[in-house]
Amino acid sequence: MDFPSFLTSLATSFLIFMVLMFLFTWLSRKPGNVVVYFPNRILKGVDPLEGGSRTRNPFAWIRECMSSTEKDVINIIEIFHSEQSTSVFPELQSVALTCLFIVLVLGILVLSGIILLPALLPVSATDVNIKSASKNTTSKGTFNDLDKLSIGNVTAKSPRLWAFLVAVYWVSFVTYYLLWKAYNHVSALRAEALMSSEVKPQQFAVLVRDVPAVPKGQTIKKHVDSYFESIYRDEFYRSMVVTNNKEVNKIYKELEGYKKKLAHAEAIYAGSKKGGNGEGTRPTTKTGCLGLFGNKVDSIDYFNKKINELVPKLEAEQKVTLREKQQPSALVFFSSRVTAACAAQSLHAQMVDKWTAIDAPEPRDLLWSNLKIKFFERQLRQYLIYILVALTILFYMIPIGLISAFTTLSNLKKLLPFIKAVVDIGALKTVLEAYLPQIALLVFLAMLPKLLLFLSKVEGIPSESHAIRAASGKYFYFSVLNVFIGVTLSASLFSTFKSIQDHPSSIITVLSDSLPGNATFFVTFVALKFFVGYGLELSRIVPLIIYHLKRKYLCKTEAERKEAWLPGDLSYGTRIPGDLLVITIVFCYSCISPLIIPFGVLYFALGWLILRNQALNVYVPKYESYGRMWPHIFLRVVAALILFQVTMFGYIGSKKFVYAPFLIPLIIISLIFAFICDKKFYRAFCNTALEVASHNLKESPNMEHIYRSYIPKSLCSEKPDEDQFDDALSHVSRTESSV
């Protein structure tokens, strides 16, 4: 990439961001758009434009974000807990955790940049390696002014390399210090959230899997009850045995679908009466596939008929499910938080594949269809998924490498000579060089998250939040191995394959020289992510357009309009790995090309500002996992740090600097640091500490209410048979489709 292309990339990305930001400030002040830009405030019952400051000052949102405290972000009021109750209490939500992570990274980069920029830039700029050996230029002779500011301008064996070696130590120790403080801080926040005096159903429940074979003459319910009652006696409340709800959920979803269609048809009919026609026009529908084929019938009568047919069918299936489709898993409820915490951490059987107990996720978070999977099957699935993911990473590296190699204009002109006349046009060439590789890479990566989440659920993981954490880890390693390492190596190998073929021993030199040469690619990659990505997130142009189209053409009832603007939660499984990829890139290039540090700071500073705005005004959390993502974030930051240290060891070594082995102890220190933090903090994130669980509650828990909060809607009959159905509730479960 030449210098004009680099400037074009940065300038156009910045221009796009400014346009999107001004669109946000203008559109968010329109009363008709408040449900898109302030859904969280609306659900809290707060006036979105309270005080009028937003209508008078287009940048009031920035002041609001800057003045809000950490508590303001953490104390997000949860609206959708269950139909039976609305829960309001402080929680360590995913958005708040992401804000804490961004603050951590900002601290690392700012403290690193304070030393690295004034120290390393003069050391690089005052050497003469590029002038004396043009083959070492980081941009093949077209980017000399910036080449001088990288380690590529430092000659081999130069004592100046000491500055870069010491810089690696500085970045590493800054990271150790801030990571330790952050882990300690998040641990305290988790404890504070768990010590809440409010009653939370999941703190009184334990998920028990691998229920052994039932003795003859007993039901699973009696087997579970007798086992836990004999151990916990007075504190045991009752159990809820998992069942296979596939069929009942299917009927329930069909019934709810017809109820929505009926409400929609009635709203259309009521609207037709207001149009001047006193009788109104009754809507019609076709009875065939998707309402597009078949006989035309009166919609209201048809939907009422379908509802009347499905209600008794649902009630019959509920009874069959509750009695005949029980699975070897259960939720066990206790009247004490301490007892539940003890039970979740205890070994209940001599064999580990029987009576496996863990903390129960909250009702919204459970993946019910995975609860029946037995212990050894879960282990086998886990190893098979790991192998499959490893193979996927390896095979994906091939197309990633091809994208990296083929989307450079020089390579495209070699492969497709007929486009030469078009791409040689000055303005077009500049734009294509600035954006083509980065856009191709971002589009290709967008295909991955759903695949990785599906694979994580196949492992047999019991909760949605755990599956997202697992998918997030897979996506991070996938991104690092394919984007960072794949792009760095494949571009160089593709362009220098012939010279490596002639001189195989030159591969180390070629790969080390490729690192500075790809710095400009990653600078523009990071700039594109934060300017365009954050601009789209802030402006919410796509959700705004979709909402207004639905509101005008599809939504007739208030429920449909609300469903059209509900924003959902932060995309945790992709947001965190994306940020971790950026910190990996900035880490690895912080000493090679220190100019990347300001771009990293800008990325995370904008991310902090925009994410805080979205946390206060937009996102509605789906569930609460009390910061359990943090240990995974921590380990991946350490992994990025170790990759940085290994990269610098290899690169400084390729410069024939005899003191490069001084970096080896630093890698060992990183491993020891991760081990110590794991031993000190991790256990408290896996289980609830008893000193936390013993904190006093504001009121005595309503155990029947806690128990029923886990009952799915598909098993709650409107007209139950009291004698039979009440007993069957002890056997209740649900699959993820009913969550």
> CA-CA distance, 261 to 257, in Å (whole number)?
6
DSSP 593: S
- The average pLDDT across 356-371 equals 89
pLDDT at 115 over 90: yes
- The average pLDDT across 217-239 equals 90
pLDDT at 19 over 50: yes
Query: In sequence order, what E strands does 177-252 have?
Result: 205-209, 236-243
Which residues are within 8 A (CB) of 58 and not within 5 positions of it... i.e. 6 or more apart? 22, 25, 26, 29
Which residues are within 8 A (CB) of 348 and not within 5 positions of it... i.e. 6 or more apart? 208, 231, 354, 355, 356, 357
Which residues are within 8 A (CB) of 257 and not within 5 positions of it... i.e. 6 or more apart? none
pLDDT digits (tens, 9 = 90+) for 412-446: 556 556 556 555 565 555 555 555 666 666 666 67
pLDDT at 166 over 90: yes
Residue with the larger pLDDT of the pair 224 and 723: 224
At 232, is the pLDDT very low, low, confident or very high (cuts 50, 70, 90)?
A: very high
pLDDT digits (tens, 9 = 90+) for 592-629: 888 889 988 988 998 888 888 887 888 877 777 788 88
Residue with the larger pLDDT of the pair 503 and 723: 503
pLDDT at 170 over 90: yes
Residue 167: the pLDDT is: 94
> CA-CA distance, 600 to 105, in Å (whole number)?
9
Residue 683: the pLDDT is: 92
3-state secondary structure of 357: strand
Residue 139: the pLDDT is: 43
3-state secondary structure of 207: strand
Which stretches within 233-298 are classed as H helix?
Answer: 246-274
The strand pair at 356-359 and 326-334 is best described as unpaired
Helix, strand, coil percentages in the chain from 3-state DSSP, rounded to 5: 70, 5, 25
> CA-CA distance, 40 to 617, in Å (whole number)?
5
pLDDT at 330 over 50: yes
Residue 492: the pLDDT is: 56
pLDDT at 408 over 80: no
Residue 413: the pLDDT is: 59
Which residues are within 8 A (CB) of 547 and not within 5 positions of it... i.e. 6 or more apart? 35, 36, 564, 565
* Contact (CB, 8 A) for 530 and 537: no
Residue 78: the pLDDT is: 41
Which residues are within 8 A (CB) of 20 and not within 5 positions of it... i.e. 6 or more apart? 532, 535, 536, 538, 539, 541
> CA-CA distance, 238 to 57, in Å (whole number)?
57
3-state secondary structure of 296: strand
The pLDDT mean for the chain works out to 79
* Contact (CB, 8 A) for 448 and 26: no
Sole residue written with tokens 């504070």: 192
pLDDT digits (tens, 9 = 90+) for 276-303: 666 778 888 887 776 677 788 888 888 8
pLDDT at 140 over 90: no
The neighbour count for residue 64, using CB atoms within 10 Å, is 16
At 340, is the pLDDT very low, low, confident or very high (cuts 50, 70, 90)?
A: very high
> CA-CA distance, 529 to 531, in Å (whole number)?
6
Orientation of helix 299-324 relative to helix 246-274, angle to 10°? 160
Give the HSE-up count for residue 330: Cα atoms under 13 Å, Cβ half-sphere.
24
At 726, is the pLDDT very low, low, confident or very high (cuts 50, 70, 90)?
A: very low
Query: In sequence order, what E strands does 336-401 have?
Result: 356-359
At 179, is the pLDDT very low, low, confident or very high (cuts 50, 70, 90)?
A: very high
Tell how far CA 704 is from the center of its chain: 34
Residue with the larger pLDDT of the pair 668 and 214: 668
- The average pLDDT across 137-158 equals 64
pLDDT at 252 over 80: yes
Q: Which of 195, 185, 68 is nearest to 630 (CA)?
A: 185
CA dihedral over 629, 635, 639, 642, signed as positive or negative: positive
> CA-CA distance, 492 to 470, in Å (whole number)?
32
pLDDT digits (tens, 9 = 90+) for 467-494: 988 998 888 888 888 777 766 666 555 5
Structure tokens at 122: 């003069």
- The average pLDDT across 619-643 equals 87
CA dihedral over 525, 526, 532, 536, signed as positive or negative: positive
Question: 45-54, 519-528, 594-603: which has the highest mean pLDDT?
Answer: 594-603
pLDDT digits (tens, 9 = 90+) for 377-386: 999 999 999 9
pLDDT at 31 over 70: yes
497 strand-pairing partners? none
Residue 109: the pLDDT is: 94
- pLDDT above 90 covers a percentage of the chain that reads 26
Which residues are within 8 A (CB) of 52 and not within 5 positions of it... i.e. 6 or more apart? none
Residue 73: the pLDDT is: 62
pLDDT at 30 over 90: no
- The average pLDDT across 332-358 equals 92
Element (H, E) at 688: none
Residue with the larger pLDDT of the pair 685 and 616: 685
- Residue 36, classified by CB atoms within 10 Å of its CB into exposed (0-12), middle (13-18) or buried (19+), is buried
Which residues are within 8 A (CB) of 83 and not within 5 positions of it... i.e. 6 or more apart? 713
Q: One-letter amino acid identity for 228?
A: F
At 645, is the pLDDT very low, low, confident or very high (cuts 50, 70, 90)?
A: very high
Structure tokens at 369: 């269809």
Residue with the larger pLDDT of the pair 89 and 507: 507
Structure tokens at 656: 């024939």
Residue 118: the pLDDT is: 92
> CA-CA distance, 395 to 367, in Å (whole number)?
30
pLDDT at 733 over 60: no
pLDDT at 671 over 90: yes
3-state secondary structure of 329: strand
Residue 489: the pLDDT is: 63
DSSP 366: B
> CA-CA distance, 440 to 407, in Å (whole number)?
8
pLDDT at 85 over 50: no
> CA-CA distance, 105 to 178, in Å (whole number)?
9
At 136, is the pLDDT very low, low, confident or very high (cuts 50, 70, 90)?
A: very low
